[in-house]
Amino acid sequence: MKIGILCSKIRVEEKLLFQEFSKLNQEIVQINPNDLSLNGSKADFGKIDLLLNREIAQTRAELILEFAEKFGIKTINSAASTKLCNNKALTTNVLVKASISVPRTAIVFSVEEAMKIGQKLGYPLVVKPIWGSWGRLLSKVESQETLETILEHKQALNSPQNSIFYLQEYIEKPDRDIRVFVVGGKPIAAMYRVSKHWLTNTAKGAIPKGMKLNKELNALVEKTVQALGVEIAGVDIVESKKGYLVLEVNATPEFRGLKEVTNVNIAKLIVEYVLKGKKYVKN
Amino acid sequence: MSDQKKEAKCLECQAEIILEPDLQAGEVITCPECSTDLEVKQVNPLKFSLAPAVQEDWGQ
């Protein structure tokens, strides 16, 4: 059995995964999108049976996963679940439908409608891009006037993506949020991401702090990843006055921060799960 | 694989950079002097390029 790892950048996480595969003498091949030429043949992927997605560029990763699946190559995560997680609007839609608690959210397509939603959600509120990660381009908006200005600036960027507005109520929280790491649909480790800044992404400087999973978190996370169909994921959760709320789900999660505050060998668990899953046959 | 550390020069400032022996193509290293990000294109012989800027859809 041959396993491909889709990635153009070798980050700490990919290095650890390569090392764990190597310890088990498992043959792996790096599938670098920069070297791929998809001509509609299974041979494009070099005879692999399973493709583990670790690609940093989400748009091309989605497309490559779809191509791979067409040739019967098992993908982790699947193209469909990756697409759901990469698009915050779709993620929210799936989670709401599955009765999973999320902050009140609206996706709108015009500034005029956004202004009405702003009044309904109240201020402050948060404007997020539909795509993207690491807490980039998020705005905490304090007033109707500021919302109008920010949305006008987004529209002036003249890209279709930036003209879809994802508006979300601002959640008062402790100076932290929670990242739960999932392998095989099950939570395996978690951390607080602590920051005085309202954005608590580690990419924005939040400090990882170890925490123990509990029954309530486990149940929420399992339900969340099941709804989205992701096998390996990072689920971001905020502690609100009303309880846990799911913010977003990452389908190719980094774990360098979590690795520092947990005894769980995340890379090893991913590798063991991937090896178990290699005989999986998609219906 | 050699366990010897490798040396290279930064493409931007020519500072000497010490590289770990397990360096792989695709890794991004940061010059300790000028903070330029360099992408390893090839390990043997060593080849670098300036790492691309973060794209809009990059993420985890």
Domain boundaries in chain A?
3-85, 104-169, 173-276
Per-residue pLDDT at A97: 98
Asked whether residue A99 carries a pLDDT value surpassing 90, the answer given is yes
Which of the pair, A126 or B53, is modelled with greater confidence? Answer: A126
Choose the closest CB to B59 out of A7, A11, A58.
A58
pLDDT value at A282 more than 90: no
Give the closest residue to A133 by CA, choosing from A203, A186, A192, A75: A203
The mean pLDDT value for A138-149 works out to 96
CATH class of A104-169: alpha beta
**Inter-chain CB proximity B60 and A250 less than 8 Å:** yes
Which residues lie closer than 8 Å to B39 by C-beta, 6 or more apart? A9, B26, B27, B28, B48, B49, B50, B51, B52
Contact between chains at A32 and B55 (C-beta distance less than 8 A): no
pLDDT tens digits, residue range A166-211?
A: 999 999 999 999 999 999 999 999 999 999 998 888 878 899 999 9
pLDDT at B2: 57
Residue A162 sits at the chain B interface (C-beta within 8 Å) = no
Residue B24, chain A, CB below 8 Å: the answer is yes
Topology at the third CATH level for domain A3-85 = Rossmann fold (3.40.50)
- pLDDT at A245 (0 to 100): 98
- Options 3.30.470.20, 1.10.10.10, 3.40.50.10680, 3.60.15.10; CATH of A173-276: 3.30.470.20
The ranges of chain B with pLDDT < 50 are none
How far is C-alpha A1 from the chain's CA centre? 28
Average pLDDT, chain A: 93
CB of B60 within 8 Å of a chain A CB? The answer is: yes
B55 → chain A, closest CA residue: A57
Amino acid, single-letter form, for residue A246: V
Q: Is the ipTM of this complex over 0.85?
A: no
Average pLDDT of span A11-26:
94
Give the number of A-B residue pairs with CB atoms closer than 8 Å. Answer: 52
**How distant is the Cα of B56 from the closest Cα of chain A, in angstroms?**
6
Q: What is the pLDDT of residue A216?
A: 97
A279 confidence band (pLDDT: 50, 70, 90): very low
- Predicted confidence (pLDDT) at residue A278 exceeds the cutoff of 80: no
